[in-house]
Chain A
Amino acid sequence: DAGVTQSPTHLIKTRGQQVTLRCSPKSGHDTVSWYQQALGQGPQFIFQYYEEEERQRGNFPDRFSGHQFPNYSSELNVNALLLGDSALYLCASSPGQVVREKLFFGSGTQLSVL
């Protein structure tokens, strides 16, 4: 049973470029949440997708957008990259929209913006 998988593992971009990160949730999970984590800090909630719709959003600009596909996989898109967007981007999946008990995380995508 595969857990949460994310791709790519590492990515280097330059300012102004656009990036797409991908996530496949754990088998049986239909809800995907995306987090941004700066080095040594706690993850910051970006948004959550359930039934192919964005259900809740954190304090991130519109440059951050996402999508969920019918197979529950998800993409995170970031436009007009800034140096401050350099971080570890984590995807987490859970069974059902009511996220009370447990999030399963992928290993993340390390994004470096030069």
Chain B
Amino acid sequence: TQLLEQSPQFLSIQEGENLTVYCNSSSVFSSLQWYRQEPGEGPVLLVTVVTGGEVKKLKRLTFQFGDARKDSSLHITAAQTGDTGLYLCAASGGYQKVTFGTGTKLQVIP
């Protein structure tokens, strides 16, 4: 069973601050995804990383896949209230099943 541990579990920051969320596992993954989920909605895919060491940027969000493809990080620069939500990493080691991480609940305070 693949376990994806995310840290921190909760994060409350002021608007304009920077933050980093981590996703760690003992397993190697062929790819890793980051999702954001807002209250009352399903998760929405933000990015997929495939290559070890890969860095992808999505506006103020920077995603990095670890060199060994076991971990990943999400960095948000100058957080905005619209960034509030539950951030989930997910991985598909097998071809049929996507496993989600434990989640990081982010609250950005105006």
Please indicate whether A and B come from the same complex rather than being unrelated chains. Answer: yes
Instruction: Specify which chain B residues have a CB less than 8 angstroms from the CB of A65 in the assembled complex.
Output: none
Q: Does A40 contact B (CB under 8 A)?
A: yes
* Cα A4 to Cα B95 with chains together (Å): 21
Residue among B1, B41, B45, B94 making CB contact with A103, cutoff 8 Å: B45
Check B43–A43 contact: CB distance below 8 A. Answer: yes
Check B98–A103 contact: CB distance below 8 A. Answer: yes
DSSP class of B's interface residues: helix, strand, loop or mixed? loop
Q: Does A106 contact B (CB under 8 A)?
A: yes
Q: Does B102 contact A (CB under 8 A)?
A: yes
Q: Does B31 contact A (CB under 8 A)?
A: yes
DSSP class of A's interface residues: helix, strand, loop or mixed? loop
Residue among B4, B43, B97 making CB contact with A58, cutoff 8 Å: B97
- Given A100-B31, A108-B42, also A41-B95 (CB < 8 A): no
Q: How far is the CB of B51 from chain A (nearest CB, A)?
A: 14
- Given A45-B97, A48-B97, also A40-B42 (CB < 8 A): no
* A: contact size bracket: 20 to 34
Q: How far is the CB of A96 from chain B (nearest CB, A)?
A: 10
Residue among A42, A48, A90 making CB contact with B42, cutoff 8 Å: A90
Q: Interface of A with B (CB < 8 Å)?
A: 4, 33, 35, 40-45, 48, 50, 55-56, 58-59, 90, 92, 97-103, 105-108
How many of chain B's residues have a CB under 8 angstroms from any CB in A? 28
Residue among A55, A99, A106 making CB contact with B98, cutoff 8 Å: A99
* Cα A108 to Cα B38 with chains together (Å): 12
Question: In this complex, what residue of B is CB-closest to A50?
Answer: B96
Check A4–B86 contact: CB distance below 8 A. Answer: no
Check B40–A102 contact: CB distance below 8 A. Answer: no
Residue among A42, A48, A92, A106 making CB contact with B96, cutoff 8 Å: A48
Q: How far is the CB of B94 from chain A (nearest CB, A)?
A: 8
